[in-house]
Chain A
């Protein structure tokens, strides 16, 4: 069974985000990048499947050369191969452009399961999984927390509001991984050293026959017009408790009139 795991290299969830000078993208100076946490669950599930049933795991990303650090992380955890679709020279790419590029590459590979995180942290669009299903003409399942293997199909547990939905889909299939009990492993130093020796294949959009200029930058279907930080949180308001009865009254008033939660 061959697994392709698509990973996004995103700003660390701990990073303090600043809006860049353009007003439509973030200021990347001093940003630490990580593999999107949901993608880590996807990779973990793929690695466990490989360990149990054999096969290969390939990690795939669309991004700049710096994103190869993310691919190396995947290799260090146990992936066999890595491919980067180069974003150099490409304008802002929306979810459709990314999905188109990933699909074009995946078509050149023999994939039984295409794994992704259910969403990429950062933009949280949750679009690439269904788009990939559509572009590859494959079934897709989102919000997957657990997968059982059958001959020629998979049984997926979907985490939905207040329940678990169990669905079956034939292989090949596109899976959007949700956080699950299978915690992602750590790259060991041995794995990191071995990963250093592996080659990362780099493809340009043109190599994949994709006319990326026609669907990115100003030609993208979705264009970011403005990026804003949420308003700063207000300072804590302390109600003096010298006189408990009065304090309770004041608290009630504030909750009703200012916070409007009562």
Chain B
């Protein structure tokens, strides 16, 4: 955590946003805005083209949705195409895609059929991830090649009826049987994507009393559970397919374990580390959900513009009405900001930054909510047509709704991005406090944060590399980044450990953080665009950035003000009364 660099030029944390919490704007991580290597771009473009041809001939999206079934031969086709092994390293039979390549592919193929995106995404983003991240070389050699070809399809089994957001409270047990060197699994996993046909399950269970009483999370352990070739395994039952609001073609069911025996050699990540395996798996997978939202948003924007420029009312293209202009511009500006955020994050991952959990969560929250709004606006612009099932909006709404629920609900992720950042600051605060107690402490051992804190000011860091044409925006963002860091610091000092429960504030801080990150990514991207094509040709992008930063700033100001002046106490009292009444207690006619 603490930098051991006496000059203090290195950061306390590799994560861009963790550094932001500490009052740093790590310019070096933003400029130049990451670009894919030419050969990566060529490969991904060629693969996306191949996928589009494959989809056109084999994926009947309407039928898949209507029949609530994803044809198994299409899954096999994905395997032959290479879509199931994108992220698996070449040495294990995959294509070794980095984050940027994977995100771009999911962005492009996601909107073609959301159920297909789940088959591919649940397999790679979560299902096989524990093996990829934590498997031994032997385990990887054994299973990854078949996962890469789709011969094995993977699923991720964490959620249980009693353990959703609070995954650490899971109840499925794993009891060790020394006579056979196996674990015996018992418990029920719920809403498992690809559950109906997967043959490789990453399963999280609890070894009761394993690692002492103190940390219940330490009891959790992750297993690779493989079925026989025919998909059966003694002690493993697949539940009936859920009837869902959306993603109807994707398979979602319970996986029930009753005395299911798993070899001890199938433990992934070692005993006592299962919770870490789950958390890291989810942390690394979220950026791609943001990328899928980029693809969906571009599609919606295209439909909205097509309709708005063709439909005439009052003898005028509806596109020319200012309310419609505003909708379209907002859709585009948010899409641009999101695209910038996702590919900045992916670029950071590809350059070797290992801690990107906050950035990934921001991409997921920002992306899934933008996509939802964009579909809603595109539908609205379509008028009554938008409500008709022969148009794609209704299905898009249904399919995209769950994005805000799975892979960490957006509420939980808002808490996560704030509490992870606060933890960083809190650790450093202790240092400040002890340093202040012993004024002779050698300053060299203090972190940058502590030094600044002792001087009484947090950041005056600037976004110095942003192109001058966007200087007002860059100054504004840097200013509010400083205000944000100070606000977090103040909150921590005020509440100490109790800060964890201050969710009214966390929600505001999370939204400020997301808006800051979105603006920073946007400004870095536009600066890069200006460098490449000149100010004149980049004008469209410059103006989009100005527009977005203006709106984001207003939101930030509002949220920051509300940290101090709000009606939170009223909120608590009002909701208490409502809970007490069990419904709406103020019926006018009562």
Contacts and interface: CB of A to CB of B under 8 A. Distances in A.
Interface of A: 69, 72-73, 76, 183, 186-190, 192-193, 196
B39 interface: yes
Between B42, B50, B57, the greatest number of chain A beta carbons within 10 A of the residue's beta carbon is seen for B50
A58 to B, nearest CB: 19
B118 to A, nearest CB: 19
B53 A189 contact: no
B78 to A, nearest CB: 10
Contacts of B95: 189-190, 193
Given A72-B46, A192-B47, 7 more contacts: A69-B42, A183-B57, A186-B50, A188-B82, A189-B81, A192-B50, A193-B43
A186 B53 contact: yes
Nearest to A68: B42
B46 A69 contact: yes
A79 to B, nearest CB: 14
Given A193-B90, A193-B95, A187 B46 contact: yes
21 contacts: A69-B42, A72-B42, A73-B46, A73-B49, A76-B46, A76-B50, A186-B54, A187-B46, A187-B47, A187-B49, A189-B81, A189-B82, A189-B85, A189-B86, A189-B95, A190-B95, A192-B43, A192-B82, A193-B43, A193-B90, A193-B95
B39 A196 contact: yes
Given A188-B80, A188-B81, A190-B95, A196 B50 contact: no
A76 to B, nearest CB: 6
Contacts of A69: 42, 46
Interface of B: 39, 42-43, 46-47, 49-50, 53-54, 57, 80-83, 85-86, 90, 95
B238 to A, nearest CB: 29
Contacts of B83: 189
Contacts of A196: 39, 42-43
Nearest to A77: B50
Nearest to B51: A186
Give the interface centre of A76, A183, A188 by most chain B CB atoms within 10 Å. Answer: A188
Contacts of A190: 82, 95
A193 B85 CA distance: 12
Contacts of B39: 196
A190 B53 CA distance: 16
A193 B97 CA distance: 11
Nearest to A189: B82
Contacts of B82: 188-190, 192
Contacts, number: 43
A243 B544 CA distance: 53
A193 B54 CA distance: 18
B361 to A, nearest CB: 29
A131 B90 CA distance: 45
Contacts of A189: 43, 47, 50, 81-83, 85-86, 95
Contacts of B49: 73, 187
A196 B90 CA distance: 14
Contacts of A187: 46-47, 49-50
A186 B46 contact: no
B75 to A, nearest CB: 15
A43 to B, nearest CB: 14
Nearest to A73: B46
A49 B371 CA distance: 47
Contacts of B50: 76, 186-189, 192
B97 to A, nearest CB: 9
A66 B521 CA distance: 31
Contact of B81 (A73, A183, A186): A186
Nearest to B85: A189
Contacts of A76: 46, 50
Nearest to A195: B46
A34 B577 CA distance: 65
B282 to A, nearest CB: 25
Most chain B CB within a 10 A radius of its CB, from A76, A188, A189, A192: A189
A186 B55 CA distance: 11
Nearest to A190: B82
A188 B49 CA distance: 10
Nearest to B54: A186
B50 to A, nearest CB: 5
A183 B58 CA distance: 12
Contacts of B90: 193
Q: Which 4 A-B pairs have the closest CB atoms?
A: A189-B82, A187-B50, A186-B50, A189-B95
Contacts of B86: 189
A116 to B, nearest CB: 21
A183 B54 CA distance: 12
Nearest to A72: B46
Contacts of B46: 69, 72-73, 76, 187, 192
Nearest to B97: A189
